Amino acid sequence: MRTTKFLRIAAVAAATSILAAMTACSSSGGDDSSYTLWDPYPQFDNNSDWAKRISKCADAAGVTLKRTGYDSQTLTNQALLSAQEGSLPDVILYDNPGVSTLASTGALVTMEEVGLDTGDVDKNLLAPGVVDGKTYGIPVGANTLALYYNKEILDKAGVDPARITDWASLTKALEAVKAAGHKGITFAGFASEEGTFQFEPFFWGAGANLSRLDSPEAVEALSLWKDWLDRGLAPSSVISNSQTTSWDEFSTGEVGFSVNGTWQAISGTEQGFETGFTTIPAKDGGVAPSPTGGEFMLMPVKSDTARYGASKKIVECMSTPEGQVETAITHSYYIPATKAAQEALLEKHPELKVWVEAVRSARGRTSELGADYPKVSEQVWTAVQNALSGAMTPEEALRDAQKAAQDAIGTN
């Protein structure tokens, strides 16, 4: 979820909501060899490495391919509308939390129907694409969250990131950073999916689950964030921070830690100070389950089922270990979705070991709730806002969130 994927390309989307890019040879369309693909990457034009990658897979399938890039929200709206109209493309790359919703419309072919093998895909990464035991896509890669740190600040504060193994040791590290004259940690508590996305490692790391937002474990997680804010270990800006503005804050060189994602790995090496990263710890130790971000490759239903053959070849080409490594590097270090591809990536970039570990421990956002996830997620970020602003205690905020979530999805 690069800036939770929903805002990853906001600057581009502000300039234009749709940017069409042609890959492979240009085609007038309408013949059996002309295929279409939609993705959420309008920032990549027809000269980009990504477009060339798509073109290579189209060539391997023996077809020409028209690729259209939409910003994420426009793609979601366009896909749902086109599902009703029966006008979806041959292949679509779709943000993983929305797969179950699109599948529920009956607009997608299952991987079992077309004979695409998903057995090598990490189960936790495949989970968002599995609905009622049927698999509706293959992840093109994954991203997730970890802790970036400013090594210079940590050295000054006497903090060894290797000793950060649970919440107690993380809080102790933040206290040392503050005592050394710096801000402890920045994160995104923004009232959107980004706020939920960033809170989930702590929520799940406490042992909470999304079916009961007001559990004692959930209260512990929200109380941790509130405690950091009240004690000045996190700046007040976290209440309105997106992942982008949180990263900008970290980039000032005044903050010890930042909760952020794989998509900042390149930027992290370009700061005016040395950075590092470590996994987010669970409450009592170990790696906290972070949410998975990233897109699935989906094949929409077509009246001409003979088209599935070439679409399948395109998806297969993009999901080979070599192909996933190429995608990983093209997309600011997306982590591949299979163990073989992950190991191949680490051979080229061993410094990404922390990210591979984080992805292997990650959890699909829709794994518990399926298509109901967006309704519950909204109540999570609302509770975060209410607690961090002081409008409610964490207990009150989560109690209200649980009731609102039950009302939204029609459960008792």
Chain segment 42-95, per-residue pLDDT in tens: 888 888 888 998 999 999 999 999 999 998 889 989 999 999 999 999 999 999
If asked whether residues 254 and 299 sit together in one domain, one would say no
Burial 41-72 (b: 16+ CB within 10 A, else e): bbbbebebebbebbbbbbeebebbbbbbbbbb
pTM (predicted TM-score):
0.82
CA distance 214 to 217: 8
- What is the model's pLDDT at position 366? 87
| 137 HSE (CA, 13 A, CB side) | 31
**pLDDT for res 407:** 96
Q: Are residues 134 and 153 in the same domain?
A: no
146-164 pLDDT per residue, tens: 999 999 999 999 999 999 9
Q: Is 235 helix (H, G, I), strand (E, B) or coil?
A: coil
For residues 369-381, give the mean pLDDT: 93
Give the number of other CB atoms < 10 A from CB of residue 286: 13
The answer on 265 and 162 residing in a single domain is yes
**Would you state the pLDDT for residue 10?**
36
From CA 93, how far away is CA 299, in angstroms rounded? 9
Residue 183, pLDDT above cutoff 90: yes
Q: Is 170:256 a contact under the CB 8 Å cutoff?
A: no
Residue 371 pLDDT: 84
Mean pLDDT of 107-116: 96
274 shares its domain with 298: no
Q: Are residues 335 and 389 in the same domain?
A: no
Q: Which domain holds residue 347?
A: 2-142+293-360
Other residues' Cβ atoms within 10 Å of the Cβ of residue 354: 17
- Mean per-residue pLDDT, 353-380: 91
- Per DSSP bridges, beta strands 183-186 and 255-261 are parallel
Q: Is the pLDDT of residue 16 over 50?
A: no
How many domains does the chain divide into?
2
User: Comparing 396 with 48, which gets the higher pLDDT?
Assistant: 396
| pLDDT at residue 316 is higher than 70 | yes
pLDDT-based confidence at residue 412 (cuts at 50, 70, 90): low
Whole-angstrom Cα distance, residue 21 to residue 292? 27
User: In terms of domains, do 57 and 137 share one?
Assistant: yes
One domain, residues 331 and 376: no
Give the residue-averaged pLDDT of 407-412.
83
In this structure, the answer to whether residues 152 and 93 fall within a common structural domain is no
Residue 1: pLDDT band with limits 50, 70, 90: low
CB 7 within 8 A of CB 247: no
CATH number where 167 lies: 3.40.190.10
Asked whether residue 165 falls in the same domain as residue 266, the answer is: yes
My answer on whether 99 and 115 are in the same domain is: yes
- Give the span between the Cα atoms of 334 and 263, in whole angstroms: 7
Which residue among 339, 360, 381 closes a domain? 360
Dist. CA 203–CA 141, nearest whole Å: 24
Among residues 324, 342, 360, which one ends one of the domains?
360
Instruction: List, for residues 196-245, the tens digit of each pLDDT value.
Output: 999 999 999 999 999 999 999 999 999 999 999 999 999 999 999 999 99
pLDDT at 332: 65
Q: Domain check: are 95 and 206 in the same one?
A: no
Q: How large a percentage of the chain has pLDDT more than 90? A: 73
180 in the same domain as 51: no
